[in-house]
Structure 1
């Protein structure tokens, strides 16, 4: 069974301590540096015991990022971050892409099947 791409994982490969902030950054698509700065600011501005407790509990409870997700290309990572953030929008995006591909294929089919003597000569010359 493959791991789920919409689940939160620790990113120990890019993490500093336990990989919690890097995991949050990977999950949301925000730069890990900003997540770390936000965690430190939240801790210093009044959330001291609770943010530290939440950090360690998350590091203890969450699983490591599966190896199959580590070497994926940036476009695929961006797609899955969009799925996690707004699943409905990502479905609309995929449908839109398929409609665009279908339209372009129809245009190519119309061009190839239309009566175009120059194109027919070029195709015959290739045979």
Structure 2
């Protein structure tokens, strides 16, 4: 079974305790320090038992991050962008493919059209 790159995973390799904050940081692209500070602040501002319950439920329900999920940092950033705004990601990919398709159509038209100069060059090479 292949791992899904748009799923939330616990990151125990970079985590301090169970990897929940590091997993949130990986999922969102926010620095792990700010995720930890936010978790502590939310806990201290009155959500004490609920943040611990949510933390333990996350540890219990989430899977560990598979080794080799991303090839490099650029691929990880790409998938973070897909998770944050999938519509923009698909729009960017469609735009790139549309540009490539247009360029290929231009090349095909150049080589399949009646081009006497090109035909003369090919004949001179024979």
- TM-score, normalised on structure 1? 0.78
Deviation at 1:41, TM superposition (A): 0.4
* Deviations 1:30-89 (CA, angstroms, capped at 9, x unpaired): 1111100100000011111110111111112111001131x5212211111122122121
Matches of 1:110 and 1:74 in 2, distance apart?
39
Q: Does 1:75 align with 2:74?
A: yes
Unaligned runs of 5+ in 1: 114-127
Matches of 1:84 and 1:62 in 2, distance apart?
17
Aligned residue in 2 for 1:41: 41
- Two-structure CA RMSD over aligned residues (Å): 2.8
| Equivalences for residues 20-59 of structure 1 within 5 A | 20-59=20-59
Would you say how many aligned residue pairs link Structure 1 and Structure 2?
125
Question: Could you say if the C-alpha distance between residues 108 and 32 of structure 1 is closer, same or farther in structure 2, counting changes exceeding 3 Å?
Answer: farther
Matches of 2:109 and 2:30 in 1, distance apart?
44
- TM-score, normalised on structure 2? 0.78
| Equivalences for residues 59-98 of structure 1 within 5 A | 59-69=59-69, 71-98=70-97
Unaligned runs of 5+ in 2: 113-126
Secondary structure of the residue that 1:67 maps to in structure 2? coil
Higher Cα radius of gyration: 2
Secondary structure of the residue that 2:52 maps to in structure 1? helix
